[in-house]
Amino acid sequence: MPSRDIWDPVASLRREMDRVFEDFSRDFGWAPPATTDMRIDVSETDAEIKMEAELPGVEEKDVEVMLSDGRLTIKGEKKQEKKEKEKDYYLHERSYGSFARSVTLPFDADPDKIKAKFANGVLTVTLPKPPEAKAKAKKIPISKG
């Protein structure tokens, strides 16, 4: 069954207007409003989980790390401003983009022991494992058919 908004004239108009503005912006070399796609690398040892998020162009003051209901959330906003002044023109652009990423943790983390460090556009969050989570994994044998 087709999506309802195919028949909705307002949704159709909005899609068409978005397309027109994107095409117009592209023709003049303007970028669409910034949205920051955040990549997180996760590594694990017996003692901790480490997450590294690459956030180029983001300042430390614009990043927030939160722990709530067993989920670690990294969120923030990227702000860019560009000014050019030449003899025959003046350009002033601003773009903003927000990002958020949540990871469900496999254990109850102690918020007082979580460490977050921001350096050179990389946020590193280290979560020590509680003693009960440090138990070694046990290999389960697989039997044939």
Q: Does domain 34-131 have CATH number 2.60.40.790?
A: yes
Between residues 78 and 49, the one the model is more confident about = 49
Distances (CA, A) of 36 to 32, 78, 120: 12, 7, 17
Residue 3 has pLDDT above 70, yes or no: no
Between residues 135 and 39, the one the model is more confident about = 39
Taking CA 47 as the corner, what is the angle to CA 44 and CA 51, rounded to the nearest 5 degrees? Answer: 35
Tell me if the pTM is above 0.95: no
Provide mean pLDDT across the span 105-127. Answer: 93
Distance in angstroms (rounded) separating the CA atoms of residues 126 and 108: 14
